[in-house]
Amino acid sequence: MPGSDEITTYLVGPGAPGQKTLKTGTFRLPPPTGGDDTAMIAAVVNEAQAAGSGIVKAGPYDYKFTTVPVSANNIVIEGTGDMGDTGTSFRKTNATGYGFTFTGQNSGLRNLMIRQDPTVTVPTAGGAASFTNCFEPLVENVRIADTYNGVLFQSCLNARVQGSIWLLNTFGDFGLQINGGSGIINRLDFDCGYQIDPTGKRHGARPASTALVAGDTYTNNGLIFQVRLAGTTAAGAGPTTVPGTTVLNSRTTDVVDGTATVRFVGRVNTWLDFAAGGGWTLQSAALLNGGTAIKSTSDSSNWLFVGHVEIDHPYNDGVELVRGSGFYFGSRSWVSSSLQGNGVRVRSTYKGETSLGGGRIFGNALNGIDMEAGARIVNIHDMQIGCNGTLTANTYAGILVRDGSTRFNIHDNMVGDTHTVISNTQQYGISLLGATSDKFKVKGNYVGGNVSGGVNSGYTPGASRIVAENWT
């Protein structure tokens, strides 16, 4: 059979046919054809599926393909283990759709790279792989580059995402999107790859008819652009699409905006988008650059447990909690250097539990933690929080609690000057706005070294409003 390993067994005894050829559990993918390899890859996958299970083993080649469906159980597509240019690579040539689509159980990808062909047009939909209604799907030691999105999990249980999952320079909305189910995500490295000039001004939404200098950035239609040559932006809409003719030149093509010259540097995406209910654990990850590192938007039951995670240089908030049941941010984690947003934002629509303990929130553009009006059930403890408010000094807080919040406990944190190479620009360590928040305790926090003071509060202490024993 093409692509399969075979063994011959000799049968003896009355009525025995003499010999029988059996397929083993490994089905080997031949070298590339030199053209489109989709049909060849699908043929070997189908052979493994017909056998009931198997490993589709690919050598150190660069395959070109569009979409390959995998519907049977216990099918793993496996490469050589080198996720660099010398290992197994599947080069996606279509601009839409997912490269591998899994609908079976205990199936997945291991030891390979999936990338968008750099010589084709920029992808506009789809991504590297999707898993739908799968039990124990697997993504292990996989590198993804230049696709639209990364990996989609749709109603999957006990997902296993593990072992140096590299994801670089995607053009779409998410790195991993979780739509229900449960799983463990372990050892990730996501990086947009752009280099934002830290001395440039971050304008947020594109300002029309505005003088900009080299290094300034703005967002427009969900895209991030950076100024290369100073000038004044046009009065109209400005650039709204990814420039260039291919993946390869999309980030090196100059775009004229009025008299300014800009370049596309990335999409305002979400690396980990928890869009539906379930229970997921994230540990040992680096989520760098991009738009927002972690976002929870599920109206249904959704619990996220996060530990040993570095979030660095997101364009917007590092963590944005919009909806969900529980977010638990564990020890040895870091949210730092947001270019335009907060370290952690708890939206007024988030009605679940929020626990932040044992980590570090540092050097973000706005507040370290922003609890919007109506935030509730928030516990912040044993955190190192400092040097936030870098966008405008003496304007933002280490922890900002907006009026109307309830049932929060802020205790035993260091919120102010920390061991660092930049100055502390926080206006206050902790700022309690308004007069209607209730059922809270702010106690035992170090709040020294902030520009305007330690704790900003107009609340009269009482049994359900405790502000005490905070020191500078």
Which tens digit of pLDDT belongs to each residue from 215-235? 898 999 999 999 999 999 999
Q: Minimal CA–CA distance to 99: which of 122, 71, 65? A: 65
Average pLDDT over every residue of 467-472? 96
Q: By three-state DSSP, how is residue 306 classified?
A: strand
Average pLDDT over every residue of 301-311? 92
What secondary structure letter does DSSP report for 424?
A: -
Contact 114, 129 (CB under 8 A): yes
Cα torsion 89, 90, 94, 99: sign: negative
Residue 173 and residue 143: Cα distance in Å, rounded?
Answer: 18
| pLDDT at res. 393 | 94
Q: By three-state DSSP, how is residue 254 classified?
A: coil
What's the pLDDT band for 11 if we cut at 50, 70, 90? Answer: very low
| Whether residue 23 has pLDDT greater than 80 | no
| pLDDT at res. 35 | 96
Containing H/E element for 49?
helix 38-51
Q: Minimal CA–CA distance to 340: which of 394, 288, 384, 389? A: 389
Containing H/E element for 405?
none
For residue 28, give both structure tokens: 């080997």
Show the DSSP H helices in 250-322 as ranges.
none
Residue 37 and residue 76: Cα distance in Å, rounded?
Answer: 18
| pLDDT at res. 3 | 54
What's the pLDDT band for 330 if we cut at 50, 70, 90? Answer: confident
* Residue whose entry in the numeric block shows the structure tokens 């260091």: 414
Lowest mean pLDDT among 271-285, 342-356, 413-427: 413-427
- Report the mean per-residue pLDDT for the chain: 90
Strand partners, 419: none
Average pLDDT over every residue of 169-198? 84
Average pLDDT over every residue of 28-38? 97
CB-count burial class (<10 Å; 0-12, 13-18, 19+) for 59: middle
What's the pLDDT band for 69 if we cut at 50, 70, 90? Answer: very high
Lowest mean pLDDT among 134-143, 255-264, 300-309: 300-309
What secondary structure letter does DSSP report for 29?
A: P
| pLDDT at res. 8 | 33
Strand partners, 194: none
This prediction's pTM: 0.91
CB atoms within 10 A of CB 373: 15
